[in-house]
A and B are shown apart, each in its own frame.
Chain A
């Protein structure tokens, strides 16, 4: 149900047991990562270290901070999760509502209210946090260990909120809207500090010889980062962070280390985190990039000469970091379209979330940079980064434009290249319309001959490929009419789409793909699709196989967008009926 495929892990998987203990349930956001169980282990390790030990703050205080921080991030999924946790320890609903909407009026102690105030500033205005905010907590007799825990809990909340935004888990419980006052109001900002006004908390001296995490950083990064020093009051948390760095950042089997460092870099830049940008530029320098190259990636990766796929990957990380409210399944599809697999995308989400963890931690602790930053990020960058890194969706260049221009000038080789490039999708559209593979192959020739005859009249009002598919669908339709004169793609046919009633309601297997070989699945899909009426089949082919946008599909078929949308849904449901007998769990008893 999440954006990505899930694998089955049963309740004995150790991190699930840990989350069950922590939350009283296993949040679906962790089930959404079962393709790479090691990531869940890394997250559970930090969560256990942070939550289970009760040194400074109680578990209830930590969950309250998480609830307030989730509200500050506008994250409904986690507001619901932490509400559930707090409800289970006896906090009344009214109090929980108040913590989300206006914690000052929730009847909490002065110290707890001060903690939530601090939390909200760390979450929403980290670069403006200063020593004065920490001094205020001390005036409330909150000790250093508790302050450190409050920062770590807020950072962990940032981590988990990004995970849920990026993975789109099915809600664990019925969720409630976050009132505007909970997520929108911004604490007073005061002077810009840039996140490096500390360190705010004392440290404990440790030797790399006796404390393995220090040895790990010395060996792998050439230094012990100030950000790690600043957490020495909680060495167990540092150990969990190191384990997570090894698992999330240093594994190279899916995304490369370089890709992950670049995700950290752009995420840190949009978070205005001068410390982390400097640290990751330094790491990239060790990996062979020049200072100018990493500066360019931080400031505007789209001008950094990266491959199209990597540019898209960083667009994705930036949107997930900076504009979570706008993030949707479309963003997942966009990276998928550039050849990234489910596991790549899962890792990209987790790396982005892990970066938000460290960025938040750093802002809350105010550590000074380990290396001299080449640039200090400030409020002016907030606007600039948000604007320059918005993908230029309007300015899409037709990848065929050069060949089309040559073909319009009579260059047959250029036209041949266009035919080769698009033969497969033209064929699929024809199958979609005529519903017969032999006839579709036959109709390809007609389609391309017409395209050649009319190519001089093509005026770039749509993409060339869309124009070509329009010719293909008309060619296919003509053939259908030759057979059955009443046939068209725009008739009402079987009535309003909404009337369709699902009949097969048995649960499907968790991983239905694993039940059949690729060849068998293809056969089942093709057989099912050939039985659909043409007007549904063709939409399904263009949208779900060709992955055309709704708009391009509408242009290619000469239909309106609402018709495409309703037919797509209907087509998917109809095909679902055809596939259900093959993919449903066979022995389930239905209890309706």
Chain B
């Protein structure tokens, strides 16, 4: 049986599917018994999903367009001078 600390140490690799089969079994056996780690693991996966689908810090085209124009103007000006 592993402790919550050991579980947390392997959580990252577990979520990425990068643990060996025997480690995975130990972690899942811990999850089956430990409510706290199960909640943390479940809500962390949901966090990733929410972050990935959130479109956060997306630069809309109407904001990107003028930036691109400004950059290209600057480059052309530098080349001419």
Contact = CB atoms under 8 A, between A and B. Distances in A.
Interface of A: 1, 5, 76, 168, 170-171, 173-177, 328-330, 412, 415-416, 419-420, 423-424, 427-428, 431-432, 437, 441, 444-445, 448-449, 452, 498, 500, 502, 504-508, 512-513, 518, 521-522, 525-526, 529, 540-541, 544-545, 547, 550, 565-566, 568-570, 572-573, 575-576, 579-580, 583-584, 591-592
Residue of B17, B25, B49 with highest tally of chain A CB at under 10 A:
B17
Given A171-B28, A415-B72, A572-B12, 8 more contacts: A168-B17, A175-B28, A330-B17, A419-B71, A441-B63, A526-B56, A541-B57, A545-B52
B44 A427 contact: no
The secondary-structure label for the interface of chain A is helix
B60 to A, nearest CB: 9
The secondary-structure label for the interface of chain B is helix
Contacts of A583: 43, 46, 50
B4 to A, nearest CB: 9
A569 B12 contact: yes
Nearest to B32: A174
A286 B36 CA distance: 55
A544 B51 contact: yes
Contacts of B36: 502, 505, 592
Interface size of B as a range = 35 or more
A570 B47 CA distance: 12
B70 to A, nearest CB: 6
A579 B47 contact: yes
Contacts of A176: 25
B49 A5 contact: yes
B28 A174 contact: yes
Interface of B: 5, 8-9, 11-13, 15-17, 21-22, 25, 28-29, 31-32, 35-36, 39-59, 63-64, 67-68, 70-72, 74-76, 79
Contact of B17 (A328, A437, A513): A328
A171 B57 CA distance: 36
Nearest to B33: A174
Nearest to B28: A171
Nearest to B9: A498
Contacts of A419: 68, 71-72
Contacts of B74: 445, 449
Contacts of A508: 39, 42-43, 46
A550 B50 CA distance: 20
B39 A506 contact: yes
A456 B7 CA distance: 48
Contact of A329 (B9, B17, B56, B72): B17
A522 B59 CA distance: 13
Contacts of B35: 505, 591-592
